[in-house]
Amino acid sequence: MPTTRRSPYICHVLVCTNDRQGRRKSCADGNSAQVRAALKKEVGERGWRGKVRVSPSGCLGLCADGPNVLIYPQKIWFPGVSTADVPDIVARMAQIVDTA
C-alpha cells in the first residue's frame, strides 16, 4: 500500500504540451509551451511558489479542444487557450489562492 500525503499546493495547473509533430492535432500546435512559460512567470512574480504549481503535462485526452489548461483540484478547464488568455487564467488562479 503506497503512502499518501496531502498535496502542498492549493492548486496544480496542468498545461498540456504534448507534441505530435503535426501527425495529429496536439496542444503544442497552439504554442502551449509559451502559455506554460507565461503562467510560470506570473506565479513567480505573484509570490505563489509553493502554493500554485504550473506543470507541463502529456495528453489530457481533450486534444480536439486544445491547447488545454486544467486546474486541479478545482476541476477548471480552459480549452483552446493562447498566450492572450493568460491574464484571465491568472485571474482565476488569484481567486483560488485568495479564497484558500
Answer for the pair 67, 27: CB distance below 8 angstroms, yes or no. Answer: yes
Among 43, 66, 71, 86, the residue binding ligand FES under the rule CB under 6 A is 66
What character string, x for contact with ligand FES (CB under 6 A) and - otherwise, covers 68-97? Answer: x-----------------------------
Instruction: Give CA–CA dist 38/45, Å, rounded.
Output: 11
Please work out the total of residues on this chain that contact ligand FES, with binding judged by CB under 6 A. 11
Answer for the pair 79, 65: CB distance below 8 angstroms, yes or no. Answer: yes
Residues lying near ligand FES in the complex (CB under 6 A): 16, 18, 26-27, 59-63, 66, 68
